[in-house]
Amino acid sequence: MNKLAALAGAALSAALLFALPSAQASLLTPQVLPSGSTLTLPTLSVGETQPNWSSTLQFAQFDSSLGTLNKVTLSLSGHVRSTFNATNYDDPSTTSTFSNLLKGSLVGALADGTEITAQFSGSEDRQLAGGDSYAGLELVRNEFADLVLDSQLGAFIGSGTVDFLLKANASSSVSGDADDFEGLVNTLSSGQLVVTYAYTAVTQDVPEPGALALVGLALAAAGLARRRSR
């Protein structure tokens, strides 16, 4: 009878082992909804650097064991920060005007040439009396751009990484009417990339009839063994 009980126990654990993988899968993919699942990768970023710069960002490919990849969303964001200092050396009795127009762009490109661009622009107009300095005029612009791909996603699937070449450009133009003018434009730009995979998860396994039968059998055997032992 001890033998039988041991057998029943073994059968039970075997049945549980069979059922476990599905349980694990459902834990990893909490939303088993008709719309599918999403996986957001850790944010990649380039900190404030003087333009024009370029940097290759690498993000993980989609693990196909999770399901079927439907859509890749590349969200590019960044900011351009420009400080402007000006001095008007004209006669103090005069007043001049000046304006600073700043333009910047963040351009990201995938290996196949697909690009995503975020454009920045900002301007300010000021008046400045002769002999005066203006310091710390600061323009900050945040921009966002999304690239959504839903076909030909082969390049995003695998166990390796995807290269994303990010470039930041900036230009400024300063105009004014002072007869003697000094200016200093200082620009820094940063960029961030967030990649989101949308996919249909592997369907959650309902325990198969065979497994259920095994469990039933094990329970019956355990019950029988107990009855006999009495």
Partner 1 sequence: MNLRNTATALGAAVLMAATTSAHALSTTEIRTSVYETSVAAATRLNTFVDLARFDSSLGTLNAVLIELTDTIQGKVRLENMSSSSAGTLGGDLSGSLTLALPTGGTLGVVALASTSFVASKADGVADYAGTAGFTRDVSGSATNQASFSASADLQQFIGTTPLHLSLTGNSGFLLTDTTGNVLQRVTKSTGATVRVTYTYAVPQLTPPTSMVPEPGTWALFAAGMGMIGMLAARRRAG
Binding site for partner 1 (CB under 8 A): 49-53, 80, 82, 90, 94, 96, 102, 104, 169-187, 189
Smallest distance from the beta carbon of 85 to partner 1, in angstroms? 10
Smallest distance from the beta carbon of 183 to partner 1, in angstroms? 4
Q: Which is nearer to partner 1, 29 or 171 (CB)?
A: 171
CB of 197 closer than 8 Å to CB of 39: yes
Q: Which is nearer to partner 1, 104 or 108 (CB)?
A: 104
Distances (CA, A) of 199 to 5, 55, 67: 45, 28, 6
Smallest distance from the beta carbon of 58 to partner 1, in angstroms? 21
Burial category of 206 from C-beta neighbours within 10 Å (exposed 0-12, middle 13-18, buried 19 and up): exposed
Smallest distance from the beta carbon of 62 to partner 1, in angstroms? 33
Long-range contacts of the stretch 151-155 (C-beta < 8 A, 24+): 153/62, 153/69, 153/71, 153/72, 155/110, 155/111, 155/112
Q: Which is nearer to partner 1, 49 or 75 (CB)?
A: 49
Q: Which is nearer to partner 1, 183 or 207 (CB)?
A: 183
